Amino acid sequence: MSKIKPSQGAPYARIMGVGGYRPTRVVPNEVILETIDSSDEWIRSRSGIASRHWASEEETVAAMSVEAAGKAIADAGIGPEQIGAVVVSTVSHFKQTPAIATEIAHKVGAGRPAAFDISAGCAGFGYGLTLAKGMIVEGSAEYVLVIGVERLSDLTDLEDRATAFLFGDGAGAVIVGPSNVPAIGPTVWGSEGDKSETIKQTVAWDEFHAERPEKFPAITQEGQAVFRWAVFEMAKVAQQALDAAGIAPEDLDVFIPHQANMRIIDSMVKTLKLPEHVTVARDVETTGNTSAASIPLAMERLLATGQAKSGDTALVIGFGAGLVYAATVVTLP
């Protein structure tokens, strides 16, 4: 018989607060057209993107995260010293070690929480949310700060006609805490490693170090393959998340998919047969694809503009490089 004392966690977990940070510089499509042969009409028709935010030298991964985290902490109504863990999802923090989460935890005044980074691309926020839920229920933390943050402008090839217009920078954060009622549903997540070549970094860091190629490593993707996968396979995953939570499409108030591409979002809405009353996040138009930051940023904007409200039931789904995905149903803070 085990002598280990059982954990004393909360019955359930919920999102208690949300915060976002978008860099001050707004970059319209006209700037992108300076380096690629395309048009504003083509970019809008293919992606729905009109502009994106690019970070300045001072708007580092840590700085943007701290700003977003501060807003989430205030929104949750807790003190930073109550945070027991900090989980940061990013692919654009260029130091392999230490994790940027430790620096962020210190700067927000969280004391000595568990702090670590995860790399799950555009599904990273969903992965972090699931880890946070587990910590709350297991009892290893009372409150968890989950951050999705990217400076993808650092990894964008501005001469690549297929991707130059896609990516933006920003940070989104949430506080996850205890709940007496279910407020974060079961997560449907997974990976399809056989498709890992469809979204990838052009040159590995060790190759870059050894060969010093002319161009800095950038993110590239096979657009059509990714589009087909996202539209057809991710709609199935979204439906599985609804089923796991015991929610029908008509029970939803809000749909917050990863902000990869407007055509993908619209196709998923159609495939899922979401009713007209469901508010759909379309933050991609002015924020671009911010990878792990896109879902919390879109969530923050919907709440700030009144398009969504506290207590609404939302389906969130992220998907990207790996290929990886994560979907769950949550109650908005």
Tokens of residue 252, six digits: 């939803």
Q: Which residue in the list 29, 122, 209, 277 is annotated as catalytic?
A: 122
Spell out the residues 6+ positions from residue 271 whose beta carbon is closer than 8 angstroms to its own: 231, 232, 235
Measured CA to CA, the distance from residue 139 to residue 143 in angstroms comes to 10
Catalytic site includes residue 289: yes
In terms of phi and psi (left: phi > 0; alpha: psi -120 to 50; beta: otherwise), the region of 291 is left
Residue 236 neighbours by CB under 8 Å, 6+ apart: none
CA neighbor of 226 nearest in space, from 323, 122, 328: 323
E strands present in 215-323:
219-221, 254-257, 279-280, 313-320
The catalytic residue among 106, 258, 261, 277 is: 258
Give the type of residue at 33: L
Our answer to whether residue 209 is catalytic in this structure is no
Do residues 194 and 257 lie in contact, with contact meaning Cβ atoms separated by under 8 Å? no
Is residue 53 annotated as a catalytic residue, yes or no?
no
Contact 281, 263 (CB under 8 A): no
Instruction: Return the active site residues.
Output: 122, 258, 289
